[in-house]
């Protein structure tokens, strides 16, 4: 067998004092062979990125590599190597792509010049030759019109195009190891699918070894040859992709794989009576930004165009779409956090689309919203209890009564009622999201809007919050508007689904119909692009339980 | 999905608490040095009558323009002879410079504190309103832009000619041009905080605007404002000295560092101590305030410190 491109042996990396554990990574051993893609999977805080950064020699001083660890690139030790040698090795023998294509490129340099920096630093080539090689490389990552790309600034390109420039930069010197740290997480599914295909193609062509870091089992199923599962810095299981996904041995791996929502809508357990009252109906809802200039011209953007749907009591409507499709704008219009430009939003039979703030106040409590980022949706300076009772107190409930109810709600979202006087930073992301749910429920709403409410959570926590939301909806007979970019999540929780693209609803109907037999081209393309589509995690792992 | 819900009721994990703000402040050397120096100067101003037995306004024509360390004999009201040492010399009217410098600390610190408080209070209010109520933003900010364009010295001259020279006039004249700077700072913070999901959540649970600003927005402005206030205080003390030096500030009989320097200007080349001593105190005071401000910024607002 040929020598591995990357060999990690007993790798331990320390955390600064006062961290939640002694080592960020403890005793991890793995290898990446030439032409092999090894996926490193784990939830946030499991130490996957730390491993990537230690290999590149980019760790901050606060995270020391413990003695006895070995990191070897084609047999060459990287732990005790000079900074100069590391600099030589980066790009020439190992390259890295980062998660955030928006910030990984320098915004004031042309893309060509940024790739050129790598060549100028590491090769003796003349400017004309470098240019030729860069144009070839841009063509290899399938970017259209290489000449124009060379001259473009990063902001002129889309996220997917930028990530391609990053890949071109990482691979231009033909490194034997490519480290990809969540390279597709910030991208839309269709772009993600293309980017994964590109990485796989280039890797096969060049025989590069790839260490691919991700939290998404769909991506793993799509791209990996072998998978390593990390938990709290420890390697719990490692094996070939098929075997690991279908027959996970370690309970943690089993739990993770079980938590991945299935791509098929489940059979509905509960049958709703047909005559459920309509809670919310929108009709020809429009939101435009920008306005005509003083002398004509001007630029108007249609964020939302003629959106119409209905949500009944006890029912969940999902809005799915890629970034920029206008799904969040719809949610914010309905919650009246922004004012719609045109159209009707009927709450029961009252049009709230154009209602002035004074009259709206009484109706606001009927529509509550849960936001994406659990770290920013609670005021860090106010205790959890204060946050939950704020709304009811606004509407005249006495503080004591509101607190009493808050304790019940904490139990409902399965948190300790005694912790009402704690502050948000003492809770984990999933717990905070449950507090947000309690805050919304304190208002006794009729419609609950979840705007990407589980997107920032780890897959196991996500599953818990989803279950909780479904449970609460059934218990309280709530109408729910569920905004998500994640098709798997939508398939699990939604009764009806509206697919949005470029501000318009392109397909709208029962979830089973849309997921089973999509009609619109865009919906088909979206489903086609979903990673690991051929792999049904929940089902395949079910027999283990 | 086959995941089991968290059946047990969860309690939050209590993380190791970071040392409190107070402790971190005490660990910061520039906060410590700045605060200590400032405390000394404040004590000096407070204890001025104890530190010097001489009346700061007392004119002694026989002992004019004496160098530091000059010894003289005067008779008190009972006719007893007293030996006096002019530690920092005397000015061209024979007034004791040491006494005047010690008394001058009172005026300088009063001005610094008053201007900082006044401009922060007014600026905070206007900034919150301008940042939150978008309809008022344009109007308010254009007025602030206009204010910012008026030089403080011009405002001072106008005010002095309207209402006569006094401490209050100077405080108002110095505070007015500082207000727009505070407004801009507060407005920028409000603009970013109002986009935070927790503010939007508060809107959707029906929190009225004044409570929203008070509970959710205002606390975010405190740390940067404390820092800004120290810089305003430093600048105000300097500006007062400049105004007094130019003769449009506080009346010359009141001892301020600026006044002492203005008085010594004509004989600076022969008797530099007239200017050097008050200038040294002025420099140390402003330096102490700035050090305190820097330290506060590093501790209270680490993000801002990185940016600068």
User: SS3 of A250, please?
Assistant: coil
Determine the Cα–Cα distance for residues B102 and B96; give it in Å rounded to an integer. Answer: 10
Partner residue facing B2 (CB), from A18, A258, A361: A258
Please enumerate in sequence order all residues whose Cβ is within 8 A of that of A173, keeping only pairs 6 or more positions apart, or say none: A91, A92, A95, A118, A119, A122, A123
Q: Quick one: CA dihedral B23, B29, B33, B38, positive or negative? A: negative
Q: How much is the pLDDT for B11? A: 61
- Chain B: residue whose CA lies nearest to A539: B1
**What number is the average pLDDT over the span B222-228?**
87
Residue A342 bridge partners (DSSP): A286
Residue A135 bridge partners (DSSP): none
Please enumerate in sequence order all residues whose Cβ is within 8 A of that of A203, keeping only pairs 6 or more positions apart, or say none: A35, A37, A178, A210
Pair of tokens at residue B220 = 């975010």
Q: How much is the pLDDT for A319? A: 94
**A537–chain B nearest CA distance, Å:** 10
Go through B298-308 and write b for each residue having 16 or more CB atoms within 10 A of its CB, e for each that does not.
bbbbeeeeeee
Q: How much is the pLDDT for A516? A: 86
Angle A419-A461-A238 (CA atoms, 0-180°, nearest 5)? 135
pLDDT of chain A, 545 residues: tens digit per residue: 578 899 999 999 988 877 677 888 888 999 999 989 999 998 888 888 889 989 988 888 888 888 888 999 988 888 888 888 888 888 888 999 988 877 888 989 999 999 999 899 888 999 999 999 999 999 988 888 899 999 999 888 888 888 889 999 988 988 999 999 988 887 888 888 888 989 998 888 888 999 999 988 888 988 999 999 999 889 999 999 988 888 899 999 998 888 888 877 777 656 666 777 889 999 999 998 876 566 666 678 888 989 999 999 988 999 998 888 888 899 999 999 988 988 989 988 889 888 888 888 888 889 999 998 888 899 988 899 999 999 999 998 899 999 999 999 998 888 888 889 888 888 888 889 999 999 999 999 999 999 988 888 888 888 888 888 888 888 888 999 999 988 888 888 898 999 999 889 999 999 888 888 899 999 988 888 888 777 766 554 443 33
Mean pLDDT, chain B, rounded, equals 83
List, as ranges, residues 195-254 from B with C-beta within 8 Å of A: 196-198, 200-208, 211, 215-216, 219
H/E segment holding residue A252: helix A251-259
Among the residue ranges A533-542, B24-33, B46-55, B262-271, the one predicted with the least confidence is A533-542
B100, pLDDT greater than 70: yes
Give yes or no for A428 touching B (CB within 8 A). yes
Angle A438-B128-B24 (CA atoms, 0-180°, nearest 5)? 75
B112, pLDDT greater than 70: yes
Give the CA distances from residue A354 to residues A341, A342, A344, A351, in Å, rounded to whole numbers and listed in that order.
9, 8, 8, 7
Strands of A226-231's sheet in order across: A94-97, A177-181, A209-214, A37-41, A226-231, A234-240
**A361–chain B nearest CA distance, Å:** 6
Its ipTM equals 0.80
List, as ranges, residues 252-291 from B with C-beta within 8 Å of A: none
What is A284-352 written as a DSSP string?
EEEEEES---TTS----EEEEEEEEEEEETT-EEEEE--TTSSHHHHHHHHTTSS--SEEEEEETTEE-
Q: Identify the residue whose tokens are 């040491």.
A: B98
User: SS3 of A390, please?
Assistant: helix
Q: How much is the pLDDT for A144? A: 86
Give yes or no for A379 touching B (CB within 8 A). yes
């Amino acid at each position: 067998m040929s020598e591995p491109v990357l060999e990690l042996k007993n790798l331990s990396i320390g955390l600064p004092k006062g961290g939640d554990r002694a080592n960020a990574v403890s005793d991890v051993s793995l290898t990446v062979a030439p032409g092999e893609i090894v996926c490193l999977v784990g939830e946030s805080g499991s130490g996957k990125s730390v491993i990537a950064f230690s290999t590149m020699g980019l760790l901050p001083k606060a995270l020391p590599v413990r003695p006895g660890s070995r990191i070897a690139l084609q047999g060459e030790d990287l732990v005790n190597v000079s900074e100069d040698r590391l600099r030589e090795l980066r790009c020439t023998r190992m390259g890295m792509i980062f998660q955030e294509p928006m910030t990984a490129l320098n915004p004031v340099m042309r893309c060509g010049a940024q790739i050129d920096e790598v060549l100028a630093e590491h090769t003796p080539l003349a400017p004309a030759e470098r240019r030729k090689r860069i144009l070839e490389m841009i063509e290899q990552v399938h970017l259209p019109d290489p000449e124009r790309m060379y001259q473009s600034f990063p902001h002129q390109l889309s996220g997917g195009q930028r990530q391609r420039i990053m890949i071109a930069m990482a691979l231009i010197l033909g490194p034997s190891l490519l480290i990809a740290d969540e390279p597709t997480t910030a991208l839309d599914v269709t772009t993600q699918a293309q980017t994964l295909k590109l990485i796989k193609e280039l890797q096969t062509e060049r025989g590069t070894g790839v260490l691919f870091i991700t939290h998404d089992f769909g991506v793993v199923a799509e791209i990996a040859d072998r998978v390593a599962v990390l938990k709290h810095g420890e390697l719990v299981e490692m094996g070939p992709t098929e075997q690991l996904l279908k027959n996970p041995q370690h309970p943690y791996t089993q739990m993770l794989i079980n938590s991945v929502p299935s791509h098929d809508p489940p059979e509905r357990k509960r049958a709703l009576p047909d005559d459920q009252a309509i809670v919310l109906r929108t009709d020809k809802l429009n939101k435009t930004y920008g306005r005509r200039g003083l002398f004509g011209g001007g630029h108007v953007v249609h964020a939302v165009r003629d959106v119409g749907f209905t949500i009944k009591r006890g029912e969940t409507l999902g809005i799915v779409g890629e970034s920029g499709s206008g799904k969040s704008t719809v949610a914010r219009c309905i919650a009246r956090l922004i004012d719609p430009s045109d159209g009707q939003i009927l709450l029961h039979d009252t049009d709230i689309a154009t209602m002035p703030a004074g009259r709206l106040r009484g109706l606001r409590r009927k529509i509550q919203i849960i936001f994406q980022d659990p770290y920013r949706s609670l005021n860090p300076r106010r205790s959890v209890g204060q946050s939950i009772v704020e709304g009811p107190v606004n509407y005249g409930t006495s503080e004591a009564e509101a607190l009493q109810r808050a304790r019940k709600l904490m139990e409902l979202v399965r948190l300790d009622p005694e912790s009402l006087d704690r502050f948000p930073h003492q809770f984990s992301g999933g717990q905070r999201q449950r507090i947000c749910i309690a805050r919304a429920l304190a208002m006794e709403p009729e419609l609950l809007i979840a705007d990407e409410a589980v997107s920032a959570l780890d897959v196991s926590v996500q599953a818990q919050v989803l279950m909780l939301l479904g449970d609460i909806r059934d218990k309280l007979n709530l109408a729910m508007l569920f905004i998500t970019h994640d098709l798997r999540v939508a398939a699990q929780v939604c009764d009806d689904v509206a697919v949005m693209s470029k501000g318009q609803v392109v397909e709208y109907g029962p979830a089973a119909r849309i997921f089973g037999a999509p009609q619109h081209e865009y919906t088909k393309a979206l489903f086609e692009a979903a990673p690991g589509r051929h792999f049904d995690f929940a089902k395949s792992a079910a027999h283990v339980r | 999905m086959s995941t089991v819900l968290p059946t047990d009721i969860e309690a939050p994990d209590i993380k190791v608490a970071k040392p409190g703000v107070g402790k971190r402040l005490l660990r910061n050397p520039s906060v410590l040095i700045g605060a200590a120096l400032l405390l000394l100067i404040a004590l000096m101003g407070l204890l001025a009558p104890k530190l010097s037995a001489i009346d700061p306004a007392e004119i002694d024509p026989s002992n004019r323009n004496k160098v530091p360390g000059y010894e003289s004999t005067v008779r008190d009201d009972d006719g007893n002879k007293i030996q006096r040492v002019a530690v920092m010399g005397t000015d061209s009217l024979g007034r004791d410079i040491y006494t005047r410098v010690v008394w001058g600390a009172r005026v300088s610190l009063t001005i610094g504190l008053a201007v900082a408080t006044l401009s922060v209070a007014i600026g905070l209010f206007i900034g919150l309103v301008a940042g939150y109520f978008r309809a008022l933003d344009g109007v308010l900010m254009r007025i602030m832009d206009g204010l910012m364009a008026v030089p403080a010295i011009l405002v001072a001259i106008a005010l002095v000619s309207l209402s006569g020279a006094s401490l209050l006039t100077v405080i108002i004249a110095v505070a007015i041009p500082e207000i727009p700077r505070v407004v801009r700072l507060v407005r920028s913070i409000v603009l970013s905080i109002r986009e935070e999901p927790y503010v939007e959540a508060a809107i959707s649970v029906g929190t009225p605007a004044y409570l929203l600003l008070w509970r959710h927005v205002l606390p975010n402005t405190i740390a940067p404002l404390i820092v800004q206030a120290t810089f305003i205080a430093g600048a105000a003390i300097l500006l007062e000295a400049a105004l007094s030096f130019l003769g449009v500030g506080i009346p010359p009989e009141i001892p301020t560092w600026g006044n002492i320097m203005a008085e010594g200007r004509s004989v600076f080349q022969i008797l530099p101590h007239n200017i050097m001593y008050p200038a040294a105190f002025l420099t140390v005071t402003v330096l102490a305030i700035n050090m305190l401000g820097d330290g506060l910024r590093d501790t209270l607002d680490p993000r801002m410190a990185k940016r600068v």
